[in-house]
Every structure is written in C-alpha cells, then in structure tokens.
Amino acid sequence: MSLVELLLVAVGLSMDAFSVSVCKGLGMRRLNPKVALVLALLFGGFQAFMPVIGWLLGTQLLWLIEPIDHWIAFVLLGYIGGKMLYDAIRGDEEDSGATDHVAWGEFLMLAVATSIDAFAVGISFAALNVNMIFSVTAIGVITFALSLAGVGVGHAFGARYERPAQIVGGLVLIGIGLKVLIEHLFL
C-alpha cells in the first residue's frame, strides 16, 4: 500500500469521527477547547488502536486468508465505504445533544462506535502486509486533527459539511477496495 493510499484510508476512516465531531460542535453554545481536545484525543486514539486489534487477529489467521486476501480487503473496504454512503444518503445522524462539558461515557461510546470500521481495516492490513506503526500513527493523527477541526466546523458553520464528508470518505474506501482487487486479479 502506497503512502497516498494509506493517507486516503486514514482520511476515509476519520470521516465518521469528523461527522460526529461536527454534530458535537453544533451542540456547543460556546466553543469549548477542552471538550474539543478530549473528543479528538479519544477519536484519534481509538481509530489508531482498533486497527492494531484487527491486525493481530488477521496475522494469526493469515495462512487461512492469504489466498483470498484481496477479496477480503475488497469486501471489508467496500462494505465500510458502502455503509458510510448509505448512512449519508439516508440521513442517519448521531445524537448531537448539547456538549458544553466532557461527557466521558458518551464520548467513549462514540469513539468505539466510530472506530469499528478501523478494526476491519486492521484485518485488511494483515493481508496487505503494511507497516503497522506508521499506518496506525497516520490514522490516529489524521483522525485527531479532523475531529478537532470538526468540532470547530460544526460550531462555526452548522451541519452542511457533515453529509459530504461521509460521502467522500465512503467513496475513498470503496475506491481503494476496488484498486486492491484489480491489482491482485489483473496485475
């Protein structure tokens, strides 16, 4: 996986966290930097941690999945991207209640919920033999930055960027899944 592809995966994975961050920013009467920082740290941390768990599971089963690894990557990335597109088009939104303080329980649940797709990508990473330290660092840092920005965007501009961000993220993941499949089948 090239650097550009990895960065695109990281951005694609971070779109759920960005969308939720926008919603949280919408609920702030005043922009609270502490809340934005805690939310971004949780989202970035979980997005970096979940691929490691997926990768560990994937490496233990590599002998079984290696002959079909390209199909697994295609299906997982296509499913995640497709779900993001479906949710964006359908209009599913997270509960964006007022957020003027750090709500640890809620933030942890949101961090887990937005990083489930990163677990599946970690399984794909085992099949693709990527540099995990660099990959999870990039995913975590990009998710942190976009989540922090998302709170500000939500607070300043409203919800008009939430749906386009989810659509772009979904399309990026589907495109990378197709590229992996095409490379293994035809090259």
Q: What is the pLDDT of residues 100-133, one digit of tens each?
A: 577 788 788 888 878 878 888 898 888 787 899 9
Q: What is the pLDDT of residues 148-161, one digit of tens each?
A: 999 998 888 755 56
| Angle at the Cα of 78 from the Cα atoms of 138 and 119, rounded to 5 degrees | 45
Quote the pLDDT of residue 98. 44
Residue 166 buriedness (CB in 10 A; 0-12 / 13-18 / 19+): buried
DSSP class of residue 119 equals H
Q: What is the pLDDT of residues 67-105, one digit of tens each?
A: 776 787 788 778 877 877 887 788 755 444 445 577 788
Terminal CA-to-CA distance of the chain, rounded, Å? 14
Locate 110 and state its tokens: 């949101």
pTM, full prediction: 0.71
> What mean pLDDT do residues 167-182 have?
79
- Residue 163 and residue 144: Cα distance in Å, rounded? 19
Quote the pLDDT of residue 95. 43
> What mean pLDDT do residues 166-184 have?
79
